[in-house]
Structure 1
Amino acid sequence: MREVATVVVRGDAERSAVHRARPAGPLRLLCPRRPGRAAWVVAGNLGGGLVDGDDLALEVTVDRGATCVVTTQASTKVYRGQTRQRTAVRVDEAGTAIIVPDPVVPFRGARFAQLTSVELAAGASLVLVDTVTAGRVAHGERWSAARIDTALDIAMAGELRLCDRLVLDGDVAARMRRFDALATCVLVGPRAADLAAAELARLERPAPGAALVVAGSRFADGAVFRIAGERVEQVTAAARALVGEACRRLGALPWQRRW
């Protein structure tokens, strides 16, 4: 039977805290105390990555009015074999979830599946970044995973509003051409809607052969963005720029020191 790690966060507009955190299997949960209003949950893996047969599951509940950052200790290394990870987040009214894991790094022969599902109550907000890279490019492994399958489902007030799917298999390197990383960013809800609109307004048509391409579209009262770049550093920097102001407004800067 698959074990599920669980987290419950409670609080208000001034301060949030982890009320309960229960690890499961190789998935460990660290809850550092940081300045600001948000509670922090940092997920880690005892093995330093996902190995064949791993099936990790995390459920996070953010109570009414609370703010929670969900991130990782480091990039998620996905070793050769079949692996899966699932994250389910429920955010109650006036709550906020900031989901910003480090990039996924799939090794040669990896078959990786990821499902992220978010349920937002009326008045809840979400900031999300999800990044996948070409792998260990310095070791000659460029888009050499057997299969990468990621899904993002977002429901608002009980209605599914976004179903985003990315499947990479076959000759991915040829199809990806010059790009070595992809990211999806979401800004939605009353705490992020105006910033989402501002970021959409700033988008420009990329020049042919551009090293970095950013596209976006409206989604509910916010927006979803897709980023492709020749270097991982370009993509992570662009993603942080997109969501950085929203994170600052919410009192959390996920890319600062976590301890």
Structure 2
Amino acid sequence: MFATELPFEPAAASIPVERRGHGRLTVEALGQDGRTLRGQVEEAGFARVRFPRSGRRGAALEAVLINTGGGLTGGDSSQTIIRAASSAQLVVTTQAAEKVYRSDGALTRIAVDLVSEANASLGWMPQATIVFDGARVERSITADVAPDARLLLVEPVILGRTARGERFSYGQLHDSWRIRRGGRLVYADGLQLDGDISGLLDRRASAGGWAAFATLLLVAPDAESRLEAVRAALGLPDALADHLDAGVSAWDGMLSVRLLARDGAPLEVAIRRAIAALGVAEVPRIWHS
């Protein structure tokens, strides 16, 4: 993808609108007689989904999302709508890490809308989003969770191609999460990176120069009971792995894990440990490929 090597020139002619990529995907899972079946599926643009039999684990259905465009760049948009209907058990992941390339000035827009209905279990567990230097990303994640349902969100982000020594020094990253349970807003989170991004990330109180982070959020009636198990799995408070920082808290039927790592390798190890300790889902099988 040679376009990523071009200089950043916002004033230059941008990519024509007709060459932008737009993907829209709707996936529905239905609970029936103790099993989860595929319901309505709609695909548009570069967005595709597959349901590999190798991903089947017990009653849960695993959906693997595919971006046939190979990544996102300025002006592209992606909308994903996932619904776990009553009593369904669904895990959603991605075929590979999502790459957001350098922009010519236009925003890359990503929207994820999740619904977990009565007695359902929905796991949103994509592989990492890699934000290239110069990318401009605006992402929103919204979810509606029934009072007796479960929702697990796992969202890793890597700033820059760390294996190449790249840093996310300029561009924009705006991330917004809004989670509702029984129609009531119970969780709101936001991240805004722009301006002097390198200086901000180098501050000890923000990222200390590290480039990879993740948020895991479990919304479930029994979420708080898993607090100590997750803390122990991550080595909190005094036995954290090298190149990793973490915090875990639980309140009001939710459990939140914050992870910060030097790069993607220690981050993935910590995510796997946290998922195992939560005990509500397994790491998607495609993560092993």
Q: Same fold (TM over 0.5)?
A: yes
Partner Cα distance (1:104, 1:3) in 2: 16
Q: Structure 2: where are the runs of 5+ without partners?
A: 1-21, 202-206
Question: Is 2:200 aligned against 1:178?
Answer: no
Give the CA RMSD over aligned residues.
2.5
Partner Cα distance (1:221, 1:142) in 2: 37
1:173 to partner: Cα distance: 2.9
Q: 3-state DSSP class of the match of 2:198? A: helix
Question: Is 2:175 aligned against 1:150?
Answer: yes
Partner Cα distance (1:123, 1:131) in 2: 26
Partner Cα distance (2:231, 2:45) in 1: 41
Of the candidates 202, 227, 230, which is equivalent to residue 199 of structure 1?
A: 230
Of the candidates 258, 269, 276, which is equivalent to residue 244 of structure 1?
A: 276
Is the Cα–Cα contact under 8 Å of residues 189 and 221 in structure 1 kept in the other structure?
yes
Alpha-carbon spacing, 1:191–1:209, altered in 2? closer, same or farther (3 Å): closer
Please show how residues 217-256 of structure 1 align to structure 2 within 5 Å.
217-246=249-278, 249-250=280-281, 252-256=282-286
Partner Cα distance (1:128, 1:23) in 2: 22
1:140 to partner: Cα distance: 3.6
Q: 3-state DSSP class of the match of 1:23? A: strand
- 1:14: which partner in 2? 34
Q: 3-state DSSP class of the match of 1:243? A: helix
- 2:59: which partner in 1? 37
Stretch deviating more after TM superposition (20-29 or 60-69):
20-29
Deviations 1:31-73 (A, max 9, x none): 2232321112211111110122111101111111111111111
1:216 to partner: Cα distance: 2.0
- 2:84: which partner in 1? 62
Q: 3-state DSSP class of the match of 1:142? A: coil
- 2:9: which partner in 1? none
Partner Cα distance (2:214, 2:99) in 1: 16
Q: Structure 1: where are the runs of 5+ without partners?
A: none
Question: Is 2:244 aligned against 1:212?
Answer: yes
Deviations 1:94-119 (A, max 9, x none): 10111111111111210011111110
Partner Cα distance (1:231, 1:220) in 2: 32
Percent identical among aligned pairs is 30
Q: 3-state DSSP class of the match of 1:215? A: strand
Partner Cα distance (2:158, 2:33) in 1: 35
Higher relative contact order (CA 8 A, sep 6+): 1
